[in-house]
Amino acid sequence: EDKVVQSPLSLVVHEGDTVTLNCSYEVTNFRSLLWYKQEKKAPTFLFMLTSSGIEKKSGRLSSILDKKELFSILNITATQTGDSAVYLCAVEPSNTDKLIFGTGTRLQVFP
């Protein structure tokens, strides 16, 4: 059965810290991996990764995919209180239009 596992489940840090969120997956046919940020209600798109070893970067956030080891990491440097959210990882298999989501990592950043 296809599945996505995120770790840790929750994380509490202070402003300025650097955090690494993990996403491992098992899918029969991999097409892409996506990261979303969910602050209150609507998840918002962060990154889509399809190729192994190529880092996607947006400001203080960056992500990389390892297709051999079947995982991705999301890094956030110099965290701010506005980074507090649930970060969702999803994988899209190539043989279906059904995204498979992990349960998310809840990040809390305190001043």
In the complex, which residues of this chain contact other proteins (CB under 8 A)?
4, 31-32, 34, 36, 40-45, 48, 88, 90, 92, 94, 97-104
Q: Which is nearer to other proteins, 44 or 77 (CB)?
A: 44
- Least distance (Å) between residue 18 CB and other proteins: 26
Rounded CA gap, 9 and 4, in Å? 13
Q: Which is nearer to other proteins, 44 or 52 (CB)?
A: 44
Contact between residue 100 and residue 51 where contact means Cβ atoms under 8 Å apart: no
- Least distance (Å) between residue 34 CB and other proteins: 7
Bridge partners (DSSP) listed for residue 56: 63
**b/e map of 86-95 (b: 16 or more CB within 10 Å)?**
bbbbbbbbee
